[in-house]
Every structure is written in structure tokens, then in C-alpha cells.
Structure 1
């Protein structure tokens, strides 16, 4: 007699995987992109799974899908199950510590903050890193990305895991050789803009209630604007985290301090962060480093003094040009 227990499962692991991605991404089309299949194939897998289980997993409202109560319960269990499975496979591998965590990071933060600190991060967390440069929305599946570091200035997929690692602080920075205190050349007072953050100076002016500089030059990328500032071409509006190491080596100064611009830096993951000890360790390390820089460079006194400092700077600039 045949053992009927072998045939009691009426669903496939592939179908469950498809459902988990659909539930996490809240979209059949986004799930299709992650799984690298057609949307029709995803829809067929879900219909078959619902039929085999005898349960409605989604409610359809036009082009939108909403999890049913049964679907919500199943999705929560599957997300944890697949996260646990990922961790188990990692532990069974040859050496998890040598399996790099693939991290995508915005270009300027990558070049000026993350990449130089990789040896320190690896030593202090025990996590091997592979760093990729990229901005905006993240294609985790196509590029094999485990975690992304971004500024929260674009629309985020609601199915992604997001954790804030620090408040964004920005301020005018310039070469020490070209500060307002040491010269009066016209280039000394040029405002350097970047196409990737076109409203950075406008936000600064609004917060300080002062019009700052009047001579302008624009670069396509933020890291080019920073390079121009480092070489004394003028004054650039930069993130604290992009310039802190350069200030520590006395190549740049931020005489007017830094102000919060209303945005934050975040870590984005396609799956929950906590079940993966590598992700948890990196996110916690980044939070501590961001807090360390904030304690060193952001004070209430500096914030209150910014408008007066800008007034003084503008006066110097106007005097120098007249």
C-alpha cells in the first residue's frame, strides 16, 4: 500500500516563494521583476496556489492587490521562514565570515565615507563587505545587493525593509586656502552647485533666512562639486558625512556649521534586517558612526550661530567684489 503522507502537500515551494515575494513587494509586476519571470507567470502561480489551498490569499481591487487575513498570516510566516533558511544556508557554507555582504551606496557617500572605512568596519564587525556605487531605487535581485544605503529623497517600495541610520546635515564647505578669512579673490566666493542636489543652496537660504552668494558654477555630480571645493574653486553645499574625514585632515573647513535639511540616511533591505547578523551588525555600526560625527560637529550653539555667520560671510564677499 502506498504511503499517502507523501502526497498530502498540494502546494510547491516555488509557488510559496512566488507568493512571499508578491506579499512583500505588494505588486505582481514588482514580484515578476525580482523573480525574473513574466507577470503572467506570477499570476498563474498565485491562482494555482490559492486553488490548491482553497484560500483567497489576495483581494483584487483593479490593479491593486491586498492581502486577505489568511494571506497576511501565511506571508508573515513565509518571510520569517525564508529569512531563517537564508541564515541556515549561510551557516552551512564554507565560511560565512568570508561571504561578503553586498552593499550599494550613493556615490559621494561611498567614495568619501563608506569605502575608506571598509577595513575598520570589517575588523570591528567581523563582516566582509563588497561595496557598489549607486543611487536612487535599488534593483536588489539583478545586482545581487543585500543592503543599500540611500538618502530618503525618492519613493520607496512599501515592501522593503527600511531603517534610519542618521539625520542628514548639510553646510557650506571650502578649502582652508580659500576661506573668507584668508583672501578676497572672486573665486573665493563662488557658489558651487550640483545637478544631483539642485535645491541644496535654496534650502540653506530658507533655513538661515539669508541670501548667501551670487556667483555660481554647476557640476553634474555631487562628487565633482566636492572635488571642486577641495581644490579651492569656491564653496559647496555638502553633507557632513561626505566631508568629515576631509575636515579631519585639514583640507576643508565648514565655518558656518551644518543644519538638518529634513532628510535622513537609511538602510534598505529586500528582507527583514534582524534575522541576518551581517546586516544587523553593519546597520548598528553605521548608526554609531553617524551619531559619533553628529556629537562632534552638531551643537545647538553652532546651529543658532549660523545666520550671523552667513551675514558676516556675505558682507565679506560683497566687500571683496566691490
Structure 2
């Protein structure tokens, strides 16, 4: 069982799979407590090139370390060190075993550390689309932490695609992504749909009274999130909205392009043009008058917000998922109330 654990851990880490060859002799024997003690003493002696220094590290006598290593050599039937009066040098077999044992102990230490830190008080790593994290998630998280004061969450603003390998490698327990929800090896639960509306500042609207319908808007004044989700077509959101209102498609490559929706919205807030706003990100600005919707009609986005995890039932994951579902219902209620104020309802 011990060796199975080591080998599996090495395979999963992506490191060269060397233990099959290096520990073949040890695998013939049951790894009793005696063998593990011998390996511990051998590892310390190999790292320090000295029985004396190994003894100091392990808080035992020099003679005890020397004796344990000798028992291991007799057990394997090969010398592991070349001993002289002034030096202790690993043999070829000793070098191979030292590499294997060192890596094995490191894998065990890493696994023990991860298990020790996996309790409820462990900070949960949540990877979240940056604009959503800044404009929707963060303003609401205070209530979550007031309800669950023992919950610890680290929010990482990222828009790179998630897959099982990356989540395991980077110890990401959960993710929130604005995308199409196509995940083959992960759980992806949609908790909030999205609607698109062109938005601009009141000052911009006042300065451009000639813009009354979509065909009046020059493409040079369009503000774009050029990468709304992973592998999305350039200008996907403007194209989706224009098609949804049966408006002609202008030269969408013109105008300012950003890699975050928040940057496009910030540009709109400062009067630089018209951004394609996602209601989850701009509804508060619309309600407070900092932004104004153009052309009345919202259009449903192709993408939605998904809560992503790795099929691992954990209490802190359930707490966050339930909270997201509850907060999204509150938001949808406010959004539906705003929809009712529009001349052209979705």
C-alpha cells in the first residue's frame, strides 16, 4: 500500500516515473516499521554525506544510524555507501535509492500537508472571472462572511479556461466563469444568466443627440470586451446584440478593444463611447444614473455564469454554491423589476 501510494502520487504529479525501476527491490518486501526506519536513516545519511550529521538531525547516536544503514544494505544485498576513514560516498545503487527515497518522502510530506490543510478552516481558493469578481461578487461577499464567520475564501481574478488538471495542479477548489459551460471533466452549474445592453454616460448621450438608433452609432465609438469568454469570437457581444435587434453589423474591428468587460464599462463611464454592458455588471450603475441604456431592448447573451468544481462534496463548497444561487435570485428579482420599466421588454 505504501509503495502504491508513492507510485500513484508520482504519476499524478507529472514527474518522470522513475520509482518503478528504482524501488523494484524494496517492492519485493513488506515495508515493515523496521524497513521504514532503515530508509529514514539512510535518507538522512545520504543527504548529509555523514553518519554523524545524520545522527544529529535524527537525534540518535552515530552508531545507531550506521547500524540501521548496515541492516538496510544486508536486507537489499548490495552496498549503499563506499566507506573510507574520511568520507562517506554513495554507491551507484545507493545513489539510485537516495533519489527514489527523497522523492517519496517529499510526496508523502506534500500529501500530508494538503490533507492537514483540507479542513473547514482551510482557505478555499476560488478562481473567478475578473470583471464579475470586482463588480458583482466582491460587493456581496460581506454578507456571506457575516453568515459564515469561520469561512475563509481566497478569490483569484482569472479568465483562463479551467480543467481538472489545472485545478488539481494549482489547488483551485472552485471557479466562477462567464462562458458557454462546456466542461467534460468538471461539475459546471449555471447560477446566473446574462443580458446585454448598450450603455453610455449621461454626458456622452447629451453630446451625441444624433444617436437615436443602432444604425446611428459609428463603430469607432463602440467599446468592446474583445475576449468575453475563452475562445469567444472577437466582438462576440456586440455581434450578438446587433443580431438580436435585427440591426446591420458595422465594421466591428473599429473602436477601442479591451480584454476585460470592466475596462470597457469604465471607458463608457468616462464618456469615451458606448460599451456593451452585461446587466450583472452594470445594473447598479443604471439604477443610480451613472450609465444610461441606449436603444431600450436587452438581448440574451450566449454565455452565462457557472459555478465550477471537481465532483468533491465539501461543506465550504456547498456553502458558497447555495449562497451564489440565493444571491442570483435576489439579483434576478431586481433585474426583472428594471425590465418592467423599459419600453421594449426582453
- Give the aligned partner of residue 132 of structure 1: 156
Write out aligned runs for 1:214-225 (5 A).
Answer: 216-222=254-260, 223-225=262-264
SS in 2 for 1:295: helix
Matched, 1:12 2:12: no
Q: 1:262 aligns with which of 289, 296, 302?
A: 302
RMSD of Structure 2 on Structure 1 (CA): 3.7
Question: Offset at 1:87?
Answer: 11
Change (3 A) 1:146 1:42: farther
Q: Is the 8 A contact 1:112 1:245 kept in 2?
A: no
How is 1:36-75 mapped onto 2 (pairs within 5 angstroms)?
36-38=13-15
Deviation at 1:239, TM superposition (A): 1.3
Local SS of the residue matching 2:334: helix
Residue 187 to residue 193, structure 1, CA distance change in 2 (3 Å): farther
1:142 Cα deviation from its structure 2 partner = 3.5
What secondary structure, in the 3-state scheme, does the structure 1 residue paired with 2:156 have?
Answer: strand
1:174-253 correspondence runs (5 A) = 174-179=200-205, 182-184=206-208, 189=217, 190-197=221-228, 198-211=235-248, 216-222=254-260, 223-253=262-292
Q: Residue by residue, what CA displacement relative to the aligned partner does 1:264-309 show, whole Å, maximum 9, x if unpaired?
A: 211111233xx211111111111222222222123675788159xx
Q: 1 CA distance for matches of 2:297 and 2:19? A: 52
Q: Deviation at 1:108? A: 1.1
Q: How far apart are residue 217 of structure 1 and its match? A: 1.1
Residues 1:261 and 1:279: Cα distance change in structure 2 (over 3 Å): same
TM-score between both structures, scaled by the size of structure 2: 0.57
- Give the conservation status (yes or no) of the 8 Å contact 1:208–1:306: no
Q: Aligned partners of 1:155, 1:298: CA distance in 2, in Å?
A: 27
Distance in 2, Cα, partners of 1:41 & 1:186: 71
Matches of 1:42 and 1:110, distance apart in 2? 43
In 2: Cα distance, 1:192 partner to 1:211 partner: 17
Q: Which runs of 5+ in 1 are unaligned?
A: 1-8, 19-30, 45-84, 308-322
Shift of 1:39: 7.7
CA distance in 2, matches of 1:233, 1:43: 63
TM-score, length basis structure 1: 0.61
